[in-house]
Structure 1
Amino acid sequence: MIAERLTAQLLAGTPQDPRGARLAIRARTTGLTAADVDRALTEERSLLITWLNRGTLHLVRSEDYPWLQALTTPPLFTGNARRLTQLGVTENLADRGVKAIERSLAEEGPLTRVQLRERIAAAGAPTEGQALVHLLMLASLRGLAVRGPMIGREHAYVLARDWLGDSAPVDRDRGLAELARRYLAGHGPAGDRDLAKWAGLPLRDARAGLRAIASELDERADGRVDLAGRPPAAGLPPPRLLGSFDPILLGWRSREPLLASHEVVVTGNGLFRPFALVGGRAAGVWKLSTGGVRLEPFRRLTRKDAAALDADASDVLRYLSVGVEPRHLG
């Protein structure tokens, strides 16, 4: 499937905004619709949304989930525990909540967030405010729960073993090597600090992964590396409308070459707005509005670029099937 191949190339895309995750696939493929991605998530089980790198939700291939989960989640437990404590959820209460999640999913099958809130509360664990989402995150970090099928219009939770089957133990050294290899396949050339930031891992782990595949790499004059034998980039991409939290903003340490002085793309509270890419740089922000796409360019666009973005806006509407009641995935 095209969406699965593209996701394999990106390795892990960030779907904090579910629509943005689907738009990331649209911008890099042709002919798909958001419904195709949804089927891969909820019916074919070839794609998956769960908490991974840096403690944020990611879109990954289901077959990549076991080793990515094993590598990227250990650094996240401390922060998760700290936040739960701030919310009044002790370690014992957190364990009680996660056990309630696991037991309920095992006995009843897929459940929505609202249904799990009821089960967790009945077990005596807090669910007020952000406590629920951090308990769900803890169940995910432990490899117990993932997003699975739809229940009505909601993306339900399910036991990972029920949805994906059992997985073999992960060899950490081999996993770090594969992480470095796959990261460069979608983001190279890049440096060790780029890999560490993207994966949310200590720099020593990023360097260990790159050392393990040193014979497969070419080093650039600027110190960055890439997979040996890769053909040079085909040039700048055509003008595109990219969604919020697009992977192009999250794959490397610096966004300056892409955003320059246009900080409006990334807001002060950490939101990444949908933006237009022209000539390899951010050229404006956009949003869906009544009747179509509304673009706010940063500068006057050439007729050619404006026409290309107009055509891409039409494709966004086609892809999203705007006018159809949305399902709440992610």
Structure 2
Amino acid sequence: MTLSQIARMRVYNQCLNYDKFKKPEDVVKYMVAMQAQEYSYAKWAIGLRMLSPTDKAVEKAVNAGAILRTHVLRPTWHFVLPQDIRWLLALTAPRIDAGNATMYKQQEVDSAIFNKSHNILAKAMEGGKQLTRKTITELLNSAGIATNDLRLTILLMKAELDQLICSGAREGKQFTYALLDERAPITPVIDRDEAVARLVLAYFSSRGPATVNDFVHWSGLTVADAKAGIKINKDSLTNITAEGKTYWMHADANPDIAIKSASCLLPVYDELIIAYKNREAIIPAKYLDKTGDVTFFPAVMINNQVIGNWSRTVGKNNIDIEIKPYGNLNKAQTKAIETASQRFKKFNGLL
């Protein structure tokens, strides 16, 4: 299998070249977890994989709690479903916590401070109360807990990792936090091996073909975890070799179906980019020096290949989109970008 075929399969398995899902939560269910660090762009990442996407529909799902936003997998924001959040946290929070240890020490927070903060948050949010960061800051400060520098972020992330709080509905443009027990159903506890197997199967089904190192990069787990999960799922996964590397995908994946190319404006941190350690399949060789731009800025993808970056300026009644190509564009590429731009504007209710 060639790199271009791998790109085509990834685009297909990530549902970027055909519209499959009707509801925002259906997308997140299939993807299991989607990076949601940049919120407005993260909503667009969901929209790209929907039949008739609108920003309002995704916002409504988040506000209603059909989709939750929390720190999981790696120490950054992700969209997950209420029914998945507990086993995902149980699996990945210990490694995030361990990775944060140095930051805890630098900010002089310990178990006593965490416990005190947790108790304050639990009492203040009890009964369905959803609090903004401003309100939480005032509560903690009044109790003698400093929130300067990174301390507030650390205290809130720790409460998320300990399965105390998660995202609430937005209050205007402000994010809120709510008690996890009041936002997500209690689900059966599964052992770690089952959780690893579940995450491995979901990853390679929705993002394959991908390597073991890609999974490790995305999940924050270990190579040993990846190999154990593949072994458990040996009847559901298959592998192929390309340029000396082994790529895994669902056994039912059919390369002959994934023949349609995709052209779209990818949001920053889209799963098509962030879910892989090696991005050579979607970045043309002549643009590999642009890997940093592809990773940290919204990317223009034409025919399954990233050929530039883009940015948007949002006005009251319009969105101006600026395309920043890495090279000269031909007429077909220009037309594809115009179509992709119209799709983004329609998602935002401007067409």
- The alignment's TM-score, normalised by the length of structure 1, stands at 0.90
Q: Give the conservation status (yes or no) of the 8 Å contact 2:82–2:185.
A: no
Give the letter aligned to residue 292 of structure 2.
V
Matched, 1:133 2:153: yes
> Helix, strand or coil for the counterpart of 2:265?
strand
Q: CA deviation at 1:174?
A: 1.4
Q: Distance in 2 between matches of 1:71 and 1:322?
A: 41
Q: CA deviation at 1:135?
A: 0.6
What count of residue pairs does the alignment treat as equivalent?
320
> Helix, strand or coil for the counterpart of 2:112?
helix
For 1:186, which of 191, 195, 206 is the aligned residue?
A: 206
Q: Distance in 2 between matches of 1:120 and 1:81?
A: 21
**Who is 2:348 aligned against?**
320
The 3 A distance-change label for structure 1 pair 108 and 238 is closer
Give the letter aligned to residue 228 of structure 1.
A
Q: CA deviation at 1:264?
A: 4.5
Q: Give the conservation status (yes or no) of the 8 Å contact 2:282–2:306.
A: yes
Give the letter aligned to residue 14 of structure 1.
Q
Q: Give the conservation status (yes or no) of the 8 Å contact 1:236–1:280.
A: no
**Who is 2:177 aligned against?**
157
Give the letter aligned to residue 57 of structure 2.
D
Q: Give me the identity figure in percent.
A: 25
Matched, 1:18 2:39: yes
Q: CA deviation at 1:236?
A: 5.2
Q: CA deviation at 1:262?
A: 4.8
For 1:302, which of 330, 333, 338 is the aligned residue?
A: 330
**Who is 1:224 aligned against?**
247
Question: Equivalent residues in 2 for 1:235-274 (5 A)?
Answer: 235=259, 237-259=261-283, 260=285, 261-264=287-290, 266=292, 272-274=296-298
Q: CA deviation at 1:141?
A: 0.3
**Who is 1:214 aligned against?**
234
Q: Give the conservation status (yes or no) of the 8 Å contact 1:147–1:156.
A: yes
**Who is 1:147 aligned against?**
167
Q: CA deviation at 1:146?
A: 0.3
**Who is 2:24 aligned against?**
3
Give the letter aligned to residue 292 of structure 1.
D
The 3 A distance-change label for structure 1 pair 263 and 40 is farther
Deviations 1:258-306 (A, max 9, x none): 2343554635xx9710110012221111111365211011112221221
Query: Structure 2: which 5+ runs fail to align?
Result: 1-21
Q: Give the conservation status (yes or no) of the 8 Å contact 1:81–1:91.
A: no
Give the letter aligned to residue 138 of structure 2.
E
Q: CA deviation at 1:24?
A: 1.1
**Who is 1:173 aligned against?**
193
Give the letter aligned to residue 172 of structure 2.
G
Q: CA deviation at 1:33?
A: 0.5
Query: Structure 1: which 5+ runs fail to align?
Result: 324-330
Give the letter aligned to residue 235 of structure 1.
I
Give the letter aligned to residue 267 of structure 2.
G
Q: Give the conservation status (yes or no) of the 8 Å contact 1:94–1:125.
A: no
Aligned-residue Cα RMSD (Å) equals 2.1
> Helix, strand or coil for the counterpart of 1:285?
strand
- The alignment's TM-score, normalised by the length of structure 2, stands at 0.85
Deviations 1:190-239 (A, max 9, x none): 22222122110121111111111112222213422222122225135322
Q: Distance in 2 between matches of 1:170 and 1:3?
A: 26
**Who is 1:118 aligned against?**
138
Question: Which shows bigger deviation, 200-209 or 103-112?
Answer: 103-112
Q: CA deviation at 1:159?
A: 0.3
Q: Distance in 2 between matches of 1:322 and 1:135?
A: 39
Q: Give the conservation status (yes or no) of the 8 Å contact 1:111–1:157.
A: yes
